[in-house]
A and B are shown apart, each in its own frame.
Chain A
Amino acid sequence: MMRGLWKLTWIEIKVFLREPMGAFGTILFPVIIFLVVGRVVGRRMDPSALASSSFIRVGWPVIVSLIIVISTVLSLVTIISIYREGGILKRLRATPLRPQTILTAHVIVKLLLTAATMVLLVLAGKRYYPTGVQLHFVSFTVALVISTCAILSIGFLIASMVPTARFAQPIGAAILYPMLTISGLFFPLAVLPPFLRAVSRVLPTTYAVSLLDGMWVGDPWFAHVGDLAALAIAFAVCIALSAKVFRWE
């Protein structure tokens, strides 16, 4: 059933890296931004203040990770709609390749690219984190993969419905970035007006932020069962919906 999956995944990675902006835009650019901001902020703080600043310690890594996730999801939305418009999806379908294999390959590519960016960020960021600060990379990475899957499923839903490839990126961005804004990522949910707070409660991104915040500071997993359940439900609903409305051409 998964015949061709690894070969297709490998080819998609190579094709992506051959894009003029491919590797730079999604992998190096976030790292550079991270380094620049780290340098600017780092110069103004003495090391002890740095270690205790909750923004640098907790907020900033989570913001950077989620923005990477969103940009990978947006690139998935764009690629799927370009492939649909160009007849590439249809051509792949006229083989024994299963539709789910094609989509799985794209998800794996995106997860691998996200992971690569995160590893680079961690390596680049190490110098700003004085020894002694407890970091929880493994559980944070697992939490990030889970969050990515939930947000990718929203991406698939958007990709299933955008009319043309030209609108894929702007429509995706117009949906995902506002979602992120009211998810407690940049400011606490408490400052939101009641209406927006209610909206934020049904957004999967809110639970992703809560989960990632918790994992970064070393919360135990059972403290975030609610977040995990919410992300799983969002994933199931979005995948089921996009399976219904997805167009191959």
Chain B
Amino acid sequence: MSVFETLPLPTTTHPVIRVSGVRKTYGTTVAVDDVSFDVNDGEIFGLIGPNGAGKTTTMECIEGLRRPDRGAISVLGMDPVRDVYQLQDRIGVQLQQAQLQKRIKVWEAVDLWASLYKKKTVDANRLLDQLGLTEKRNSWFMNLSGGQKQRLFIALALINDPEVVFLDELTTGLDPQARRAIWDLVRGIRERGKTVFLTTHLMEEAERLCDRVAIIEHGRIIDIDSPENLVKRHCPERSVVLATQHPSAAEHFRAIPHVQEVVGNELHLTIRGCGDNLVTDVIRCLSANQIAVSDFRTVLPNLEDVFLKLTGHSIRD
């Protein structure tokens, strides 16, 4: 009898990862509590939250590296604790802050990893080429830059042509340029039909990469959905910032329905309201009242604001 029999059947895609009621404690600290979610085939799923929220613990339970105290996990139909070796054969893993032997060469690491899997592995030279590591194939691990190390770890996670790829804080500590290059690589993984499960504390990363995200804090999942839906649901506010010399502009704007407040100084006015029509209404008002503007921009809420709203603090605190 499986725990999953009571769960509703998925409607469109079938989940490759099912997590249900997982709890994990270290001594008296509860790292993860009653965490449940599904990850669908072929999507990029992000677990987002501040450091210490329980992201890595959750991920390592799914990878079979930790045994949950309670709850059930199924990955590709396998139990990560009982079938750990069969599971490792079919998934690819990149761990947070992992290292390799200081003086192992890039090609040696890839060659070693390729020898560990029962299933057919991908062509190592092509993989190194795709990840831009061909020139570095004879370099020692310790002499690689942060971005190169991360690309090598991605190569190791992909060497067995895995069905699910786990990426834990993939771009932490990288400069923006290297980060963007890695994002493109992750999108490439999805395009090859693989499922990606990643954790990040960077909201921009989650927003740009993930099809769906689960927000986790203090070991509990707060909400799960696509980034757009999360923003729509929790932060319907819109703002328009504009610059005008018109003396009674503020009054006109206050008359627009759904406008909650108009604040500003001599140069800029900020119009806050909610609903998708706010921006259109402001433009109509400008044209109807012949208000000339020298600057006009809209400020839309993002995942960062969702997080602030749901938890009462910024993710960086």
Contact = CB atoms under 8 A, between A and B. Distances in A.
Contacts of B100: 88, 91
B116 A97 contact: yes
Contact of A95 (B97, B102, B116): B116
B111 interface: yes
Interface in A68-97: 83, 86-88, 90-91, 93-97
Contact of B116 (A3, A12, A15, A88): A3
B96 to A, nearest CB: 8
A126 to B, nearest CB: 34
B88 interface: yes
Contact of A90 (B88, B95, B115): B95
B171 to A, nearest CB: 18
B85 to A, nearest CB: 5
Contact of B85 (A8, A86, A96): A96
Contacts of A96: 85, 88-89, 116-118
A14 interface: yes
B65 A93 contact: yes
Given A4-B115, A96-B85, A97-B116, A11 B104 contact: yes
Nearest to A83: B101
Nearest to B166: A94
Contacts of B118: 3, 96
Contact of B115 (A7, A15, A91, A93): A7
B104 A94 contact: no
B223 interface: no
Contacts of B102: 15
A3 B115 contact: yes
Interface string B77-110: 0000000010011000101011111111000100
Contacts of B95: 87, 90-91, 94
Interface residues of A, number: 22
Most buried by A among B101, B102, B112: B101
Contacts of A93: 65
Contact of A7 (B93, B112, B140): B112
A44 interface: no
A98 B85 contact: yes
B183 interface: no
Contact of A87 (B93, B99, B117): B99
B33 interface: no
B63 interface: yes
A46 interface: no
A11 B100 CA distance: 12
A98 B98 CA distance: 18
B242 to A, nearest CB: 51
Interface in A31-47: none
A35 to B, nearest CB: 29
A159 to B, nearest CB: 17
B291 to A, nearest CB: 60
Interface string B101-133: 111100010011101111000000000000000
A95 B114 CA distance: 10
A96 B83 CA distance: 11
A11 B102 CA distance: 12
Interface string B134-160: 000000100000000000000000000
B155 to A, nearest CB: 13
B89 A88 contact: no
Contacts of A94: 63, 65, 88, 93, 95
Nearest to B159: A95
Contacts of B89: 96
A142 B101 CA distance: 31
Contacts of A97: 116
Contact of A86 (B63, B88, B99, B108): B99
A7 B111 contact: yes
Contacts of B140: 18
Nearest to B111: A7
A95 to B, nearest CB: 5
A14 B112 CA distance: 13
Interface in A132-170: none
A86 to B, nearest CB: 4
Interface string A88-129: 101101111110000000000000000000000000000000
Nearest to B119: A96
Contacts of B93: 94-95
Interface in A1-27: 3-4, 7-8, 11-12, 14-15, 18-19
7 contacts: A7-B115, A11-B112, A12-B101, A87-B99, A88-B100, A95-B113, A95-B117
Given A90-B65, A97-B116, A98-B85, 20 more contacts: A7-B115, A12-B101, A15-B101, A15-B103, A15-B104, A18-B103, A18-B140, A86-B99, A87-B95, A88-B101, A91-B95, A91-B100, A93-B65, A94-B63, A94-B88, A95-B88, A95-B113, A95-B116, A95-B117, A96-B88
Task: Rank and list the top 10 A-B pairs by shortest CB-CB distance, nearest first.
Answer: A86-B99, A18-B103, A91-B98, A94-B93, A87-B98, A96-B88, A4-B116, A15-B101, A7-B115, A95-B116
